[in-house]
Amino acid sequence: MANASRETTPKPAKSSRPSVRERFDALRNLRPFLRQIWDTSPSLTLATLGLRLVRALLPVVMLYVGKLIIDEALRLVGLDARLTTIGQWLDSGLLEPLLWLLALEFGLAVLSDVLGRLVSLFDSLLSELFTNATSVRLMEHAALLDLEDFEDSELQDRLDRARRQTMGRMTLMSQLFGQAQDLVTIVSFAAGLIVYAPWLILLLAVALVPAFLGEAHFNALNYTLNYSWTPERRELEYLRQTGASVETAKEVKIFGLHAFLIGRFRELSEKFYRANRSLAIRRAGWGSLLTALGTLGYYVAYAYIAWRTVRGEFSIGDLTFLAGSFRRLRQLLEGMLVGFSQVAGQALYLDDLFSFFEIAPEITSPPSPRPFPAVIHQGFVFEDVGFRYPGAERWAVRHLSFTLKAGEVLALVGENGAGKTTLVKLLARLYDPDEGRILLDGHDLRDYDLDVLRRNIGVIFQDFVRYHLTAAENIAVGRVEARGDRARIVEAARRSLADDVIAKLPRGYDQVIGKRFRNGVDLSGGEWQKVAIARAYMRDSQLLILDEPTAALDARSEFEVFQRFKELSDGRTAVLISHRFSSVRMADRILVLDQGQVEAVGTHEELLAQQGRYAELFELQAAGYR
């Protein structure tokens, strides 16, 4: 079922190059984006916007005061007051208006600077909060997704792009707010200029259109480049990690893989660099040319103002005010248009972030789930269960029918790839069957609440995670709510034989294990496994599954671990997977899987008596020890 629905709802494919429509469509992302910024911190958002509004009006005021200063200075020159020393000038009181104007200009300059700094401060605080909040949302959403989604490379690309967005979008916020601020400044300048020469403003605006179109075009190309290179960028990241991490260092050294990895990294990064460089060069070339057009517009306006000043229609103060205003207006309009196309470009990247949030998990709880049995009575029943991994041709398991009775310890045996782990994943609803159903106490697993179901199941996988945390935390992850309960952790360690391992650590339970962090101590493979198995006891769930986490244990340890497991399981339902028959025979019943199907079920003695594959494999192993 899962497969079928995946196929009918393909992920929205994006064309290699976003069309104009797609680019405008992307602008709709700005609304939720702004909403999220607001939700992050309303007070900081208000503060930065308010300060920007005040700051937006300062340039025109300052320029106008500048004009008044020049006009006043020229007036004083024309007075012919015959005063020579500064003392005489001051005494005369003639300087007073000029001094007041200068003081005002000074005050405005200081204010503008202080406001600018405050705006950057609030912006950076807000950006950081926003990035953190988005990262948290990203992790929360990732936690909801199906395992199947994670195994899909398309999703990994998307996740990668989304992860980049949480960092990269900080600039977008400042840019958007900056745009709003500039718009206010532009309106204020335009209002001042419109009195003098309205059509010059139009000239300026028109002259900037080519630069705007050029920017928009190159932004789209840039996005396409980044988009289409996502898999390669992920590969680069992977190579970088493989080439330089604790986990891989051992094997990389032994096999001398450095040169191979570096060579591959170089080749790929070189290609990416070349693609980037060629685009950057074209962008710079076209950018300069188109901007020159805008500059031309400005000088035409300048010449016109100069001409009217010469004819005596404008004062020198007017000339400086107008020239200054036009220069600023041009810069602002240019910034605005370029900024707009950048914002539109960035909005495309927001698509990646938001489209990640749109991926909905398919393995979910029903709207009104059945109450989970406080004590499982009948157990689990597989009814003709079939499952195929997404994209796989072959069925991993098919026509699988058997019962896992409440309170029994069932061992699963079978050769590599027989479907043992798949069966476990189906039990824990990491996947749902494509055919048939799994019943728990007579009801489909899908009728129960997913979280409650998982809370009642504990699985320790073959490839359990080695958390680079303390020994105590490594056990506590089995029931993370109880991580403060040291007695419970110690008891779990005792049961799984991890207590001896931990006793040898310099800091005991508080020792960080794994080599990634400072003071970390590494464990042997078997020691890690004992710690991981303690998680099962920590979890203390109704159904416990050990999927071969014992492969690295020596024969005696595995025997002991399983024996204790059986003794301590205390009438609980359990599934054991192991390739060691000495351990397997301890189970109440054994299920032999072959190519995704049940070949035989029975006790050790029954299966031996059947003289089938189980007996054959058992003999093979036993012979090895004789």
Q: Can you give the binding site for ligand ATP, defined by CB under 6 A?
A: 151, 389, 392, 396, 414, 416-422
Is the CB of 334 or the CB of 434 nearer to ligand ATP?
A: 434
CB 427, min distance to ligand ATP, A:
12
Is the CB of 303 or the CB of 392 nearer to ligand ATP?
A: 392
CB 424, min distance to ligand ATP, A:
8
Nearest to 482, CA basis, from 568, 397, 555, 540:
540
Which strands, in side-by-side order, build the sheet including 435-440? 397-405, 379-387, 435-440, 443-444
Is the CB of 417 or the CB of 442 nearer to ligand ATP?
A: 417
Instruction: For residue 5, give the H/E element and its range.
Output: helix 2-8
CB 397, min distance to ligand ATP, A:
7
Helix residue ranges per DSSP H, 145-197: 147-150, 153-168, 170-194
Is the CB of 423 or the CB of 538 nearer to ligand ATP?
A: 423
Computed on alpha carbons and rounded to an integer, the radius of gyration of the chain in Å comes to 36
- Residue 68 Cα to chain centre, angstroms: 54
Is the CB of 96 or the CB of 151 nearer to ligand ATP?
A: 151
**Which position has the token pair 């976003």?**
18
CB 414, min distance to ligand ATP, A:
5
Write out 581-618 in H/E/C secondary structure.
Answer: HHHHCCCCEEEEEECCEEEEEECHHHHHHHCCHHHHHH
CB 468, min distance to ligand ATP, A:
25
Nearest to 533, CA basis, from 589, 477, 586, 481:
477
Residue 339 vs residues 109, 214, 342: alpha-carbon distances, Å? 25, 12, 5
Residue 439 vs residues 372, 426, 447, 451, 582: alpha-carbon distances, Å? 12, 11, 9, 17, 31
Backbone dihedral angles phi then psi of residue 40, each to the nearest 5 degrees? -60, -50
CB 268, min distance to ligand ATP, A:
26
Is the CB of 243 or the CB of 361 nearer to ligand ATP?
A: 361
* CA angle in degrees (0–180, nearest 5) for 309-315-318: 95
Is the CB of 152 or the CB of 352 nearer to ligand ATP?
A: 152
CA atoms within 13 A on the CB side of 613: 13
Is the CB of 155 or the CB of 492 nearer to ligand ATP?
A: 155
CB 619, min distance to ligand ATP, A:
20
CB 391, min distance to ligand ATP, A:
7
- Residue 348 Cα to chain centre, angstroms: 16
Query: 396: which DSSP letter?
Result: S
Is the CB of 146 or the CB of 334 nearer to ligand ATP?
A: 146
CB 419, min distance to ligand ATP, A:
4
